[in-house]
Every structure is written in structure tokens, then in C-alpha cells.
């Protein structure tokens, strides 16, 4: 097989066979295909698209390019959840203990934040003592004992995707639906998922800026999940404004604690029930989404989900006294309110720009090498559709410096107040087929 022939085939709109795709991924991972040929193929895929069978073959070849986690010694159906990216997205921290508390095993591998999106690992590390590095044996033991553990992603998970993603990043081929779908699904499959729940976000804070693209991505991933023998469901959620009220690491831990205590922001709570219900159904702990939701509501209201969260934190070395007194996590030296400049209704809170503001405060990384400041971030007091008086606080800035003029300017540029405004829909669609 020659790479140049395969590039030509795709360039002319042909369909690559499973064997051809396997060859490309294996040889590229071994550095036997140079970046310039791979770049040409990526651009051909960008323009010519791929069939579901091609995307499935690409997904499985990338999943099998490195370590594939074997979770078969954990009883039950292991359901993983993935969001295509958001701002202030605290759902994993809540969902993991919530669904575990109704008997769904959660063996979760999470990532760190980059750019304006946060990462579950960074958030968990704001709890003193919490360990995200466990051996595979320890990880499996914890899930068997208490149904839940959240750890860092193994370094050798889907190396083909890691290499390809870096190449896509510098060849303007990130934004291709077959490439995004295979990239996400390959990592979920390599992480050992039997079933997958996808949160495909759309709006300013998301990869997919419009609903049509989000819908295509969601349908594509659900179809390839099925072709790869993993039950898959997706929701399309709105990420034009941040989710919940907290953006920042320890701020989001506090938000997760409050939510698990039944005091969470409405949109975040609803998102957790919708995603959680899908996880419970896929794990076959309930027959219908309605029945699943009822189980989850009971677990939240009874305190069982909160107890499960504390158990998870304790098991992974975290100091649970912080969970009982969450204010101790909020150690930023400055808390500065941002007053509204006029009276009206909030019409816009541009999610990605608010994420960038939090990153500028130190909550996120500009590059993979940077470290994060767990204490800083934003706490929103008004969301889109809410009325505000001139001078009233729109949000509180948690900062470890008082040199925040550029952050304040960016925030004002991305919060609009008008005369009328409506709350955007939280969930656009649920896709099960």
C-alpha cells in the first residue's frame, strides 16, 4: 500500500477501506508516514468527508493505537460521559457520585483544562490531598468497592489521536466532523467504556458554533458508537452562556457541593438530571428516562449522592473537612463585584470570553505547561434573561491580584444588557438513534 495512492483516492471522493485506514493509522503512529502526507490526507478528509464505516474504522484504529483499558473486572455496564467542551461545566463532578449512588459504576478518566475550558482534574485538585494518579489496579478496586473513581487519563491512551490532533491544530483541519467524532470516540473506547453519553455543546463557548453542525456531530457519534458496539446517546446542549454560576476550580467544587446538597443553580441541576438519566438507562438500572430521573432525584434529595461524593473524595486521599466547610476552599485574596452600568435585562454572557477572563485571572492554562491557580475565577449573579439594576453586582471576581483592569474590560465587553431578553433553551435535542 502506498500513502500517495490513498491520498489520491480520498482527494477524488473515494471511500477508504478498513484495511487502508488501519494501515494509515498504524504507520503514522510509528512515524512511518510523514506529517506532510498525513496533512494532505487530513485536508482531503476535510473537503470530501467520510462515510460512517470509514469514521468507525478510523475510531477503532486510533483507539487500538495504544493502551486499551480493560474494565471487565468491574461488574456492570460501564458508562462514560463526554462533553465536547464548555465553560463552567461542573457536570462531571456532580454526575460521577450521583449516578454511582444509584448503582451505576463510574470508572472515569478525566482531563485537564486548556484555554477557556476547564478540566475536571484541575477542579478536583483544589481539594487538598486529592490524588488523581492511581494505578490501574487501585482504580478498579475503588470502583468495585464504592462504584466511583475519577483519575487522570493514562499517558498512552490513543497516541494516534494525540499525534493527529497536534497536526490538525496546525493545518486548519480541527473543525471537521469525521475527525472530531473519531477523535472523541477513540478516547472513550480506549478508556474502556461499554456505553457512552455525549454532551454536544453548541454556541459561543463550544466547538460547534451552530445547531446544524452540532446535530451532525451528535448523529455521527451516535451512529459510530453503535457500529463499534457501544450503546451511545447524545444531547445537544446550549453553551452560549456558561453553565451554572461558578467558573474556576475551587469555585466549581463549591458549586458541585451545593448542587449535591440540593442547592444548585437550576440549569446545572437540570443538565445533571438529563445526562444522568441517559447514563442510568444505558447502564440498564432503569428502563425509561423518566424512571431513571426519579431514581436520581431521590438520590439527590435523600443526601445519598452527597455522601457518595464525600466517599469518593476520602477514598482518593482528599481532606473531607473542606467538603463540610467549603468556604475554606475560597482563598482568593480579593473578591471584587462587577456592577451593572445600566438597568435592564441581561441579554448576553459570551461563554468563551468569560472563560478567557477566568483564564486571565489564573484559573486556566494558555499552554499545556502552565499551572493553574485553584482559588480564582468568576461567580455569576445574573444569567441571561434576568433583570438587573444599575450598580447591582453582575458577578464577583475572585482574584489573587488587584491588577484586573484588562479582565474587567473584557467582562464588560462580553456582558450585554438590553431592554428585553429571554433565557436560552438549555437542551436543544436528545438523540438516541
Q: Which residues of this protein are in contact with ligand URA, per CB under 6 A?
A: 84, 165, 174, 179-180, 183-184, 207
Q: Which three cell numbers stand for residue 223?
A: 451512529
Cβ atoms of 143 and 394 within 8 Å: the answer is: no
Q: Which does 90 bind (CB under 5 to 8 A by kind): ligand URA, Ca ion, none?
A: Ca ion
Binding test (CB under 5 A) with Ca ion, winner from 203, 244, 318, 355:
244
Measured from the CB atom, the residue of 117 and 250 that comes closer to ligand URA is: 117
Q: Mask: binding to Ca ion, 259-288, rule CB under 5 A, as x and -?
A: ------------------------------
Calculate the CA 86 to chain-centre distance. 7
108 is catalytic: no
Residue linked to cell 454560576: 245
Q: For 75, what's the count of Cα atoms within 13 Å in the CB-facing half-sphere? A: 6
* CA 321/CA 204 separation, integer angstroms: 37
Q: Which does 246 bind (CB under 5 to 8 A by kind): ligand URA, Ca ion, none?
A: Ca ion
Helical spans, DSSP H, in 241-282:
249-260, 266-282
Cβ atoms of 178 and 46 within 8 Å: the answer is: no
284 is catalytic: no
Cβ atoms of 100 and 272 within 8 Å: the answer is: no
* CA 346/CA 402 separation, integer angstroms: 26
β 79-83/195-202 pair status = parallel
Helical spans, DSSP H, in 231-390:
249-260, 266-282, 289-301, 304-315, 321-324, 351-361
Q: Which three cell numbers stand for residue 46?
A: 476535510
Measured from the CB atom, the residue of 244 and 276 that comes closer to Ca ion is: 244
Q: Which does 180 bind (CB under 5 to 8 A by kind): ligand URA, Ca ion, none?
A: ligand URA
* CA 72/CA 68 separation, integer angstroms: 12
Cβ atoms of 253 and 215 within 8 Å: the answer is: no
What is the length of the chain? 433
Q: Which does 59 bind (CB under 5 to 8 A by kind): ligand URA, Ca ion, none?
A: none
Cβ atoms of 246 and 256 within 8 Å: the answer is: no
Measured from the CB atom, the residue of 207 and 309 that comes closer to ligand URA is: 207
In the complex, the smallest distance separating the C-beta of residue 304 from Ca ion, rounded to whole angstroms, is 22
187 is catalytic: yes
β-bridge partners, 35: none
30 is catalytic: no
| Active-site choice (78, 112, 168, 365) | 168
Q: For 65, what's the count of Cα atoms within 13 Å in the CB-facing half-sphere? A: 31
Binding test (CB under 5 A) with Ca ion, winner from 246, 256, 354, 357:
246
Measured from the CB atom, the residue of 174 and 393 that comes closer to ligand URA is: 174
381 is catalytic: no
Using CB under 5 A, which of the segments 25-33, 243-251, 351-359, 382-390 binds Ca ion?
243-251
Q: Which three cell numbers stand for residue 199?
A: 454532551
| Active-site choice (183, 237, 250, 399) | 183
Measured from the CB atom, the residue of 6 and 271 that comes closer to Ca ion is: 271
β-bridge partners, 399: 334
Measured from the CB atom, the residue of 160 and 246 that comes closer to Ca ion is: 246
In the complex, the smallest distance separating the C-beta of residue 199 from ligand URA, rounded to whole angstroms, is 12
Q: Mask: binding to Ca ion, 84-123, rule CB under 5 A, as x and -?
A: ----x-x---------------------------------
* CA 340/CA 64 separation, integer angstroms: 52
Using CB under 5 A, which of the segments 115-123, 245-253, 285-293, 372-380 binds Ca ion?
245-253
Q: Which does 393 bind (CB under 5 to 8 A by kind): Ca ion, ligand URA, none?
A: none
Q: Which does 184 bind (CB under 5 to 8 A by kind): Ca ion, ligand URA, none?
A: ligand URA
In the complex, the smallest distance separating the C-beta of residue 268 from Ca ion, rounded to whole angstroms, is 6
Rounded to a whole number, what is the distance in angstroms from the first to the last CA of the chain?
36
| Active-site choice (82, 188, 215, 230) | 82
In the bound complex, which residue of the shown chain has the CB atom lying closest to ligand URA? 183
Measured from the CB atom, the residue of 123 and 168 that comes closer to Ca ion is: 123
| Active-site choice (78, 81, 163, 187) | 187
Residues ≥6 apart with Cβ < 8 Å to 49 = 177, 178
Measured from the CB atom, the residue of 219 and 374 that comes closer to Ca ion is: 374
Q: Which does 183 bind (CB under 5 to 8 A by kind): ligand URA, Ca ion, none?
A: ligand URA
Tell me the Cα Rg of the chain. 22
What amino acid positions are annotated as catalytic residues?
Answer: 82, 161, 168, 183, 187
Q: Which residues bind Ca ion (CB under 5 A)?
A: 88, 90, 244, 246
Amino acid at each position: 500500500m502506498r500513502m500517495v495512492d490513498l491520498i489520491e483516492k480520498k482527494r477524488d471522493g473515494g471511500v477508504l477501506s478498513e484495511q487502508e485506514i488501519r494501515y494509515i493509522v498504524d504507520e503514522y503512529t510509528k512515524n512511518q508516514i510523514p506529517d506532510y502526507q498525513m496533512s494532505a490526507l487530513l485536508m482531503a478528509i476535510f473537503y470530501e468527508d467520510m462515510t460512517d464505516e470509514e469514521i468507525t474504522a478510523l475510531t477503532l484504529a486510533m483507539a487500538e493505537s495504544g493502551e486499551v483499558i480493560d474494565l471487565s473486572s468491574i461488574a456492570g455496564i460501564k458508562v462514560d460521559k463526554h462533553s465536547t467542551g464548555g465553560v463552567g461545566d461542573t457536570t462531571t463532578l456532580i454526575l460521577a457520585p450521583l449516578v454511582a449512588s444509584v448503582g451505576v459504576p463510574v470508572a472515569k478518566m478525566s482531563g485537564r483544562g486548556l484555554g477557556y475550558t476547564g478540566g475536571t482534574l484541575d477542579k478536583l485538585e483544589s481539594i487538598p490531598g486529592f490524588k488523581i494518579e492511581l494505578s490501574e489496579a487501585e482504580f478498579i478496586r475503588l470502583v468495585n468497592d464504592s462504584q466511583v473513581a475519577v483519575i487522570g487519563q493514562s499517558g498512552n491512551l490513543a497516541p494516534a489521536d494525540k499525534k493527529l490532533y497536534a497536526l490538525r491544530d496546525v493545518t486548519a483541519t480541527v473543525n471537521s466532523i469525521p475527525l472530531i467524532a473519531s477523535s472523541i470516540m477513540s478516547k472513550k473506547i480506549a478508556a474502556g467504556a461499554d456505553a457512552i453519553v455525549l454532551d454536544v455543546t453548541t454556541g459561543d463557548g463550544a466547538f460547534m458554533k451552530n445547531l446544524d453542525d452540532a446535530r451532525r456531530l451528535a448523529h455521527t457519534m451516535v451512529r459510530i458508537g453503535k457500529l463499534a458496539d457501544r450503546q451511545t446517546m447524545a444531547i445537544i446542549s446550549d453553551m452560549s452562556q456558561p453553565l451554572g454560576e461558578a467558573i474556576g476550580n475551587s469555585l466549581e467544587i463549591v458549586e458541585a457541593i451545593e448542587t449535591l446538597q440540593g442547592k444548585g443553580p437550576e440549569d446545572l441541576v437540570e443538565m445533571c438530571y438529563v445526562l444522568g438519566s441517559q447514563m442510568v438507562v444505558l447502564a440498564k438500572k432503569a428502563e425509561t428516562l423518566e424512571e431513571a430521573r426519579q431514581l436520581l432525584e431521590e438520590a439527590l434529595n435523600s443526601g445519598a449522592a452527597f455522601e457518595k461524593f464525600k466517599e469518593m473524595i476520602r477514598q482518593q486521599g482528599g481532606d473531607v473537612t473542606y467538603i463540610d466547610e467549603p468556604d475554606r476552599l475560597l482563598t482568593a485574596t480579593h473578591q471584587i463585584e462587577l456592577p451593572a452600568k445600566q438597568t435592564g435585562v441581561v441579554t448576553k454572557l459570551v461563554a468563551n470570553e468569560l472563560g478567557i477572563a477566568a483564564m486571565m485571572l489564573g484559573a486556566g492554562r494558555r499552554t499545556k505547561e502552565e499551572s493553574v491557580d485553584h482559588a480564582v475565577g468568576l461567580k455569576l449573579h445574573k444569567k441571561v434573561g434576568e433583570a438587573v439594576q444599575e450598580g447591582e453586582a453582575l458577578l464577583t471576581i475572585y482574584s489573587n491580584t488587584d491588577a484586573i483592569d484588562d479582565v474587567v474590560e473584557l467582562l464588560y465587553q462580553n456582558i450585554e444588557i438590553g431592554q428585553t431578553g429571554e433565557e436560552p433553551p438549555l437542551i436543544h435535542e436528545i438523540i438516541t438513534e
